[in-house]
Structure 1
Amino acid sequence: MKELVAVILTRNEAHHIAECIASLRGWVDGVVVWDSGSDDATQAIARDAGAQVVERPFDNYAAQRQAALDAVDARWIFFVDADERATPALAEEVRRVIATDAAAGYWVPRRNIIVGYEMRAGGFSPDYQLRLLRRDAARYVPEREVHEIVELAGPEGYLEQSLIHYNYATWAQFHRKQRFYAAYEARILAARGIRPRPHNFVLQPLREAWRRYVTLGGWRDGWQGVRMALLLAWYYGFMPYWILLAGRPAR
């Protein structure tokens, strides 16, 4: 059994996958690209870069990660997205902590770069993600399809060194992904039997804008912090209720 294997979930990530694998090469014991049917060159590029490629039809993110966790033969699994890059400092820290077995999983901070700007606050930094998992002590909650939740049979720890996350290359990409998240949140509200009320369309956006800009310190990002607070107030505060009102929380 290998000690540490990195798993990268992909679909049509030809523009990212080579650099992602390169940032992992030499310090993990293997790289598995867990692909959900790419129709670009993702799989070919990954194989050329020395990664193992496994194709599995996509149902949801939690199921994909759990399937990889079940299948990959390693003590530790390090989940990395194709648009993320590991640094040498992170590599050194990961190898150090897994040698101690002090925790069942570790939260990894991310430095989020959005359309060329590195966000410093507003919920985008340090942006911890539970990605380094001891395989025999971790399980993904199947009910949480997006922004997955991991259950650990043991203590958790926090790393200091960050993944670099090239989050959105363009604003068009950002808006497309936020519409997806808004629709997902609308489905959650619908499943809970929540119906939109007039005050939701005012109070929820205000709460989200305040949370992003004040509570989470988005003001430190200047104009970018204002922009992100307003955009996410729209997508997370207003749109889910608008979708519910329109009666179309579709998948």
Structure 2
Amino acid sequence: MTPITGIVITLNEETRIGDCIDSLKTVCDEVIVVDSLSQDDTARVAKGKGATVLLQTYLGDGPQKAFGVPHASHDWILALDADERLDDDAILAIRRLPLDNPSVAYSFRRRNFCGSHWIKAAGFYPDEVVRLYNRTTSGYLPKKAHSSVEAPKVESTDAHIRHFTYENLSHWIQRIDQLSTRDAWAMKEKGISPSVFRPTLHALSAMIRKLVLKGGLLQGSDGLTVAMTTAFHAYMKYAKLNELHENERQT
């Protein structure tokens, strides 16, 4: 099997990083953890699992995920988040891949969970994501929020990654608060100006997309939950962008 380096970025993930590293080690020869100066035992747990730990102040989603790549011993990179695990079919698929064409990256179907509940509604499945790529031709875009792998060609494995997205509904709301703050800062750094109308317009657009275009209207409570939380996230990130600009004017 062609050697692969697994890379994970972390911030205060002491309870989850161990299982993530174990998952990566089923197909990877080495694991690199890029830690954003965690205040818990993330780094210690990762080192105890045999991972190489690099400490780096958070640079934004894409740059942080790219930070560990030059330190990898191998050209093939498998990127997971700390709350992701390879399903058995993904492990089998990766072991069977020839990995003889560096221009091809491989995507997986992500199964998103809230607690033990697998959410399939309103675009939450199959949620295709590229996770295996060759660094000589491909890599994460330098976007500070919601980055993705850019590759000359992408092939789907039709295999699965489990994504333990939210511990429960309360955690879901907490994550929206955290991510909307990050998104607002990223938009401000890109020079996006404030707008009274954008929060409402983007929230309505997100609601319509999830309920109608993604079929959430016909998918019961899960469909409605996804639509409502997506709209809330969209509203808050633009409202927080307005707040950032307002605070800057007052200083």
**Shorter-chain TM-score: which interval?**
0.7 to 0.9
Aligned residues of 1:112 and 1:166 also touching (Cα < 8 A): yes
Aligned residues of 1:7 and 1:31 also touching (Cα < 8 A): yes
How far, CA to CA, are the matches of 2:22 and 2:34 in structure 1? Answer: 16
Aligned to 1:78: 78
How far, CA to CA, are the matches of 1:192 and 1:171 in structure 2? Answer: 31
The Cα of 1:35 is off from its aligned counterpart by 1.4
**After alignment, is 127-136 or 216-225 more displaced?**
216-225
The Cα of 1:90 is off from its aligned counterpart by 0.3
Structure 1 length as normaliser, TM-score? 0.85
Tell me which of 211, 233, 242 is aligned to 2:239.
242
The 4+ residue runs of structure 1 with deviation greater than 6 A are none
Spell out the pairing of 1:132-143 with structure 2 (5 A cutoff): 132-142=132-142
Structure 1 spans left out of the alignment, 5+ residues: none
Aligned to 2:158: 160
Question: CA, structure 1 residues 137+209, in 2 after alignment: closer, same or farther (shift >3 Å)?
Answer: same
Question: CA, structure 1 residues 64+101, in 2 after alignment: closer, same or farther (shift >3 Å)?
Answer: same
Aligned to 1:121: 121
Q: What's the CA shift string for 1:31-90, capped at 9, x where partnerless?
A: 222212122222222222222222222221211111112221212000011111112210
Spell out the pairing of 1:57-72 with structure 2 (5 A cutoff): 57-72=57-72
Aligned residues of 1:183 and 1:249 also touching (Cα < 8 A): no
**After alignment, is 60-69 or 216-225 more displaced?**
216-225
For 1:161, what is the secondary structure of its paired residue?
Answer: strand
How far, CA to CA, are the matches of 1:64 and 1:170 in structure 2? Answer: 27
Question: CA, structure 1 residues 196+76, in 2 after alignment: closer, same or farther (shift >3 Å)?
Answer: same
How far, CA to CA, are the matches of 2:97 and 2:220 in structure 1? Answer: 36
Question: CA, structure 1 residues 85+150, in 2 after alignment: closer, same or farther (shift >3 Å)?
Answer: closer
Aligned residues of 2:54 and 2:68 also touching (Cα < 8 A): no
How far, CA to CA, are the matches of 2:102 and 2:135 in structure 1? Answer: 14
Aligned to 1:107: 107
Question: CA, structure 1 residues 99+151, in 2 after alignment: closer, same or farther (shift >3 Å)?
Answer: closer
For 1:81, what is the secondary structure of its paired residue?
Answer: coil
Aligned residues of 2:139 and 2:149 also touching (Cα < 8 A): yes
1:94 aligns with 2:118: no
Aligned residues of 2:102 and 2:137 also touching (Cα < 8 A): no
The Cα of 1:214 is off from its aligned counterpart by 2.2
Q: What's the CA shift string for 1:145-199, capped at 9, x where partnerless?
A: 01113332x22212211110000113332222212333444452782336233xx
Identity %: 26
How far, CA to CA, are the matches of 1:139 and 1:22 in structure 2? Answer: 23
Aligned residues of 2:14 and 2:45 also touching (Cα < 8 A): yes
Aligned to 1:150: 149
For 2:94, what is the secondary structure of its paired residue?
Answer: helix
Q: What's the CA shift string for 1:7-28, capped at 9, x where partnerless?
A: 1111211111121122222322
The Cα of 1:241 is off from its aligned counterpart by 3.9
Tell me which of 213, 222, 226 is aligned to 1:224.
222
Aligned to 1:20: 20
Amino acid at match of 1:209: M
The Cα of 1:240 is off from its aligned counterpart by 3.6
Structure 2 spans left out of the alignment, 5+ residues: none
**After alignment, is 32-41 or 93-102 more displaced?**
93-102
For 1:191, what is the secondary structure of its paired residue?
Answer: coil
Spell out the pairing of 1:188-227 with structure 2 (5 A cutoff): 188=187, 191-193=191-193, 195-197=195-197, 200=198, 202-219=200-217, 221-227=219-225
Aligned residues of 1:108 and 1:128 also touching (Cα < 8 A): yes
Spell out the pairing of 1:43-62 with structure 2 (5 A cutoff): 43-62=43-62
How far, CA to CA, are the matches of 1:60 and 1:129 in structure 2? Answer: 19
Structure 2 length as normaliser, TM-score? 0.85
- Equivalences, count: 245
For 1:82, what is the secondary structure of its paired residue?
Answer: coil
